[in-house]
């Protein structure tokens, strides 16, 4: 079928699809059809190494986003009575520019803040960082990826000197003998991915660590592997215990450790106190299972050396979204290094990026401490290089800003942020302690939100700027395996909406900014490639022309190279070429919650929804299937609390209260309850989560929250 070759707008697997706009084709393709202005858009899965033609229901229905009646189709200005009135683009941007001017003149450049998103294309992520530092001269930019990948990224940088989610191709997992997945429900978050687990399942080697018996955990049934169900928040202890067993039972790959790493002695000493019975006490995982898991991983690693069918350790948000998330991811990396998995041709460690451009979104400068190419903004050499590409004085660039939670805490505070621009994020739903964030947004002098729907954050704005969507624009995304791919325009955007690239160009002009701001994605990409040259995430050998050949384009891709699908084969990215084992300690040991008293809340995703649900709640098929939040709890816990299936419950702590229906299920531990985080109003799971952050990465504590649960109507 002919059509536009592009990729799904949602998650980081970036499944390949073809969009056809010819109505004649529509009847011949077994896919949902959504009507657009120019006729009909048909979505078809397309052969590609990551998805092999498969899509999940989010991908199949993605075209509905383009024709949603909820699209914002003209700029909106808040009136004194709180209502919104449409305005011309010229009037809206004049007002925004005037407010930016006024705020900077009155309170300094850092009184303007910018909040970006991991779903923005590479071009937008790059341009947003440049716009903030050059046109606004503010240091205060960060993004929602801080809530997503920051701890794993910090751990990867610390261990390897470089963070690329998967430092190998996704389809290399096909040959694996053993795969350990910690804290990721890929069967629901990215269903086509599970095709890559079949080899390990056939070998009985799939191990899933999750407090819930998720769809992914069920893949281990019938001899396909093992499900380990630890106490929420005890992942770090679990990993320290596994490292203890590997060392104590002489299962570590000492030749590898000697040749390719430093820090083994310190880690050996640090895990010595985590003997199996102590780990069992803190994690609830029985000693026999700890030993079996450690031995299985070691045996798989040894077999991998001989057969090439190796062992992989993969982490997800379940173990990373903690206030000790960097140390937990580090412990997973330590275990991988002890087993000799990383930087080989057959095995590996990786973290499963979630947001569509969660990988590229963290490379090009929308982080508070970063310049394009994964460069540090505090590095004088990096500042000089990037300033040269931008045509500005390096000394004019601001320094390190505030990570996301601190940035949101600075809203409306003395010396803080008085004017905020939000692009590609819905913090009223996605930020921890969400009502505190909502209240802080209301204290701002001026809030600008660019979105294509009226998100929960947009309804608080003074100006809402309607923007183009995935299938209406050109750009690039970088998938979870570090593959740079083309997003292509298949349909015309509605008349009233504009690309963010155009918006920033117009605002920069109105602000009299130095430098140039192109509104053409290909020109921005070429500039991004030059700015990244010589950095860790080097895109300098890439171009739209090369990407259009469908070559696998894995960064680093410096000029003259052919890309780097598998990293670290010869050396790690630290100057001495060695990986670092880093001794970490469990600082946050907690007493497991008690049934009948408080319970531990964990949050996560559903198959039908994506992130804050701004998009997927507006797709009828997805919304019909999962219209609202359900609190999952164990039957014994439910009975003790007088709660029946489908009954209304109240989940609360001193940060907030969620009201929703109950889903009684044996898939969850007695001491734990689960809420999806996609919903609105008083069903926002993040009303309850804590904004305490990891001191290294700024990751909030999303995955271990103490709550009280009660029936609203007695069963």
Q: What phi and psi values does residue 546 have, to the nearest 5 degrees? A: -70, -45
- Contacts with 642 (C-beta within 8 Å, 6 or more apart), sequence order: 711, 714, 715
| CB of 183 vs ligand SF4, minimal distance in Å | 18
The length of the chain is: 715
Between 134 and 490, CB nearer to ligand SF4: 490
Work out whether 555 is an interface residue with ligand SF4 (CB under 6 A): no
Out of 117, 156, 192, 241, the residue judged to bind ligand SF4 by CB under 6 A: 192
Between 53 and 590, CB nearer to ligand SF4: 53
- Contacts with 279 (C-beta within 8 Å, 6 or more apart), sequence order: 237, 238, 240, 241, 244, 285, 287, 290
| CB of 547 vs ligand SF4, minimal distance in Å | 18
Work out whether 191 is an interface residue with ligand SF4 (CB under 6 A): yes
Between 13 and 333, CB nearer to ligand SF4: 13
Judged by CB under 6 A, the stretch of 3-11, 66-74, 78-86, 470-478 that binds ligand SF4 is 3-11
Judged by CB under 6 A, the stretch of 154-162, 190-198, 270-278, 579-587 that binds ligand SF4 is 190-198
Tokens of 531: 């700015």
Judged by CB under 6 A, the stretch of 142-150, 186-194, 411-419, 536-544 that binds ligand SF4 is 186-194
| Positions in 582-641 near ligand SF4 (CB under 6 A) | none
Partners of 673 in beta bridges: 601
What number of CA atoms fall less than 13 Å from residue 122's CA on the CB side?
Answer: 36
Residue nearest to ligand SF4 (CB): 59
Q: What phi and psi values does residue 262 have, to the nearest 5 degrees? A: -130, 160
Q: Are the C-beta atoms of residues 408 and 422 closer than 8 Å to each other?
A: no
Out of 6, 14, 457, 663, the residue judged to bind ligand SF4 by CB under 6 A: 14
Binding mask 80-109 for ligand SF4 (x = CB under 6 A): ------------------------------
Tokens of 416: 């803080």
Out of 26, 33, 36, 56, the residue judged to bind ligand SF4 by CB under 6 A: 56
| CB of 56 vs ligand SF4, minimal distance in Å | 3
Residues 15 and 51: their CA atoms lie apart, in Å, by 5
Residues 449 and 452: their CA atoms lie apart, in Å, by 10
Q: Are the C-beta atoms of residues 502 and 517 closer than 8 Å to each other?
A: no
Out of 8, 93, 200, 508, the residue judged to bind ligand SF4 by CB under 6 A: 8
Q: What phi and psi values does residue 651 have, to the nearest 5 degrees? A: -115, 125
Between 312 and 610, CB nearer to ligand SF4: 610
Tokens of 621: 């098929």
Out of 31, 125, 148, 190, the residue judged to bind ligand SF4 by CB under 6 A: 190
Residues 494 and 67: their CA atoms lie apart, in Å, by 9
- Contacts with 698 (C-beta within 8 Å, 6 or more apart), sequence order: 146, 150, 403, 404, 405, 406
Between 44 and 112, CB nearer to ligand SF4: 44
Tokens of 236: 């770090």
| CB of 149 vs ligand SF4, minimal distance in Å | 16
Query: How big is the CA angle at 292 (ends 287 and 297), to the nearest 5 degrees?
Result: 130
| CB of 64 vs ligand SF4, minimal distance in Å | 13
Residues 640 and 594: their CA atoms lie apart, in Å, by 12
Q: How are beta strands 599-604 and 475-478 bridged, if at all?
A: unpaired
Between 334 and 611, CB nearer to ligand SF4: 611
| Positions in 398-417 near ligand SF4 (CB under 6 A) | none
Between 15 and 437, CB nearer to ligand SF4: 15
Between 166 and 402, CB nearer to ligand SF4: 166
| CB of 65 vs ligand SF4, minimal distance in Å | 12
Long-range contacts of range 70-74, CB-CB < 8 Å, 24 or more positions apart? 70/453, 70/454, 70/618, 71/452, 71/453, 71/466, 71/494, 71/497, 72/451, 72/452, 72/453, 72/454, 72/458, 72/464, 72/466, 72/497, 73/466, 73/494, 73/495, 73/496, 73/497, 74/466, 74/496
Judged by CB under 6 A, the stretch of 8-16, 86-94, 238-246, 683-691 that binds ligand SF4 is 8-16
Partners of 39 in beta bridges: 36
Cα end-to-end span (Å), the chain: 54
Between 48 and 568, CB nearer to ligand SF4: 48
The helix or strand, by DSSP H or E, that contains position 188, with its residue range, turns out to be helix 186-189
Question: Between helices 235-248 and 325-338, what is the axis angle to 10°?
Answer: 20
Q: Tokens 């190998």 appear where?
A: 168
| CB of 190 vs ligand SF4, minimal distance in Å | 4
Between 48 and 454, CB nearer to ligand SF4: 48
| Positions in 15-54 near ligand SF4 (CB under 6 A) | 15, 51
Work out whether 541 is an interface residue with ligand SF4 (CB under 6 A): no
Work out whether 11 is an interface residue with ligand SF4 (CB under 6 A): yes
| CB of 266 vs ligand SF4, minimal distance in Å | 39
Between 59 and 361, CB nearer to ligand SF4: 59
Tokens of 571: 């050396």
Between 309 and 355, CB nearer to ligand SF4: 355
Work out whether 13 is an interface residue with ligand SF4 (CB under 6 A): yes
Between 432 and 482, CB nearer to ligand SF4: 482
Report how many residues bind ligand SF4 under the rule CB under 6 A: 14
Work out whether 687 is an interface residue with ligand SF4 (CB under 6 A): no
**Dihedral (CA of 146, 148, 153, 154) sign:** positive
Between 36 and 190, CB nearer to ligand SF4: 190
| CB of 674 vs ligand SF4, minimal distance in Å | 20
Out of 46, 58, 99, 364, the residue judged to bind ligand SF4 by CB under 6 A: 58
Binding mask 282-321 for ligand SF4 (x = CB under 6 A): ----------------------------------------
| Positions in 637-666 near ligand SF4 (CB under 6 A) | none
Work out whether 59 is an interface residue with ligand SF4 (CB under 6 A): yes
Number of other residues whose CB lies within 10 A of the CB of residue 221: 12
Residues 638 and 660: their CA atoms lie apart, in Å, by 14
| Positions in 208-267 near ligand SF4 (CB under 6 A) | none
Out of 5, 6, 10, 626, the residue judged to bind ligand SF4 by CB under 6 A: 10
What number of CA atoms fall less than 13 Å from residue 300's CA on the CB side?
Answer: 31
Nearest to 9 by CA among 118, 125, 92: 118
The secondary structure of residue 183, as a DSSP letter, is S
| Interface residues toward ligand SF4, by CB under 6 A | 8, 10-11, 13-15, 51, 55-56, 58-59, 190-192
């Amino acid at each position: 079928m002919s059509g536009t070759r592009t990729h799904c707008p949602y998650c980081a697997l970036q499944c390949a699809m073809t969009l056809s706009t010819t109505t004649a084709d529509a009847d011949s393709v077994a896919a949902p059809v959504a009507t657009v202005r120019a006729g009909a858009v048909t979505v078809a899965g397309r052969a590609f190494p990551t998805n092999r033609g498969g899509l999940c229901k989010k991908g199949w229905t993605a075209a509905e986003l383009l024709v949603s009646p909820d699209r914002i189709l003209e700029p909106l200005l808040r009136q004194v009575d709180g209502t919104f009135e449409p305005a011309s683009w010229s009037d809206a941007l004049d007002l925004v520019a005037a407010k930016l001017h006024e705020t900077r003149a009155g309170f300094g450049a850092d009184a303007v803040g910018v909040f970006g998103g991991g779903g923005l294309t590479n071009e937008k992520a790059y341009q947003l960082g440049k716009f903030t530092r050059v046109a606004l001269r503010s240091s205060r930019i960060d993004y929602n990826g801080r809530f997503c990948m920051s701890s794993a990224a910090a751990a990867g940088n610390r261990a390897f000197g470089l963070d690329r989610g998967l430092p190998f191709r996704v389809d290399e997992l096909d040959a694996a003998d053993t795969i350990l997945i910690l804290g990721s429900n890929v069967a629901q978050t990215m269903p086509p991915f599970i095709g890559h687990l079949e080899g390990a399942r056939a070998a009985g080697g799939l191990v899933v660590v999750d407090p819930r018996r998720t769809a992914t955990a069920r893949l281990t049934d019938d001899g396909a592997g093992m499900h380990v169900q630890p106490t929420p928040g005890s992942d770090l202890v679990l990993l320290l215990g596994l490292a203890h067993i590997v060392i104590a039972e002489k299962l570590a790959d000492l030749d590898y450790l000697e040749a390719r790493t430093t820090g083994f002695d310190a880690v050996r000493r640090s895990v010595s106190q985590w003997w199996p019975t102590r780990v069992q006490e803190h994690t609830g995982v029985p000693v026999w299972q700890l030993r079996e898991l450690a031995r299985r991983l070691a045996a798989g690693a040894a077999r991998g050396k001989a057969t090439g069918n190796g062992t992989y350790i993969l982490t997800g948000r379940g173990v990373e979204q903690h206030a000790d998330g960097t140390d937990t991811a580090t412990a997973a990396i330590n275990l991988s290094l002890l087993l000799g998995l990383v930087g080989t041709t057959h095995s590996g460690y990786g973290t499963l990026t979630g947001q569509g451009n969660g990988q590229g979104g963290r490379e090009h400068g929308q982080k508070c401490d970063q310049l394009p190419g994964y460069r540090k903004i505090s590095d004088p050499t990096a500042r000089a290089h990037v300033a040269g590409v931008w045509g500005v004085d390096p000394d004019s660039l601001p320094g390190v800003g505030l990570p996301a939670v601190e940035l949101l805490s600075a809203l409306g505070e003395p010396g803080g942020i008085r004017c905020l621009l939000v692009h590609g994020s819905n913090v009223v739903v996605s930020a921890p302690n969400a009502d505190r964030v909502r209240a802080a947004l209301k204290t701002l002098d001026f809030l600008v939100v660019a979105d294509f729907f009226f998100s929960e954050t947009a309804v608080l704005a003074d100006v809402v700027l309607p923007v183009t969507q995935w299938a209406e624009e050109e750009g690039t995304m970088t998938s979870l395996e570090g593959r740079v791919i083309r997003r292509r325009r298949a349909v015309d955007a509605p008349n009233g909406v504009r690309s963010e690239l155009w918006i920033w160009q117009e605002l920069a002009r109105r602000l009299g900014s130095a430098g140039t701001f192109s509104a053409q994605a290909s020109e921005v990409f070429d500039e991004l490639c030059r700015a990244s040259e010589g950095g860790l995430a080097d895109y300098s050998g890439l171009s739209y022309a090369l990407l259009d050949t469908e070559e696998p384009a894995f960064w680093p891709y410096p000029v003259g190279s052919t890309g780097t699908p598998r990293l670290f084969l010869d050396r790690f990215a630290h100057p001495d070429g060695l990986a670092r084992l880093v001794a970490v300690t469990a600082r946050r040991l907690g007493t497991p919650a008690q049934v009948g008293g408080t319970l531990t809340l964990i949050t996560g995703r559903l198959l039908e929804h994506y992130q804050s649900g701004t998009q997927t709640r507006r797709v009828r098929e997805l919304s019909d299937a999962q219209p609202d939040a359900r609190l999952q709890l164990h039957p014994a816990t439910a009975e003790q609390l007088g709660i029946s299936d489908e009954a209304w419950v109240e989940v609360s702590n001193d940060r907030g209260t969620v009201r929703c229906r109950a889903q009684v299920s044996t898939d969850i531990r007695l001491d734990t309850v689960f809420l999806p985080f996609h919903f609105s109003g008083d069903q926002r799971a993040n009303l309850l989560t804590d904004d305490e952050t990891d001191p290294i990465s700024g990751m909030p504590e999303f995955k271990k929250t103490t709550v009280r649960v009660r029936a609203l109507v007695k069963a």
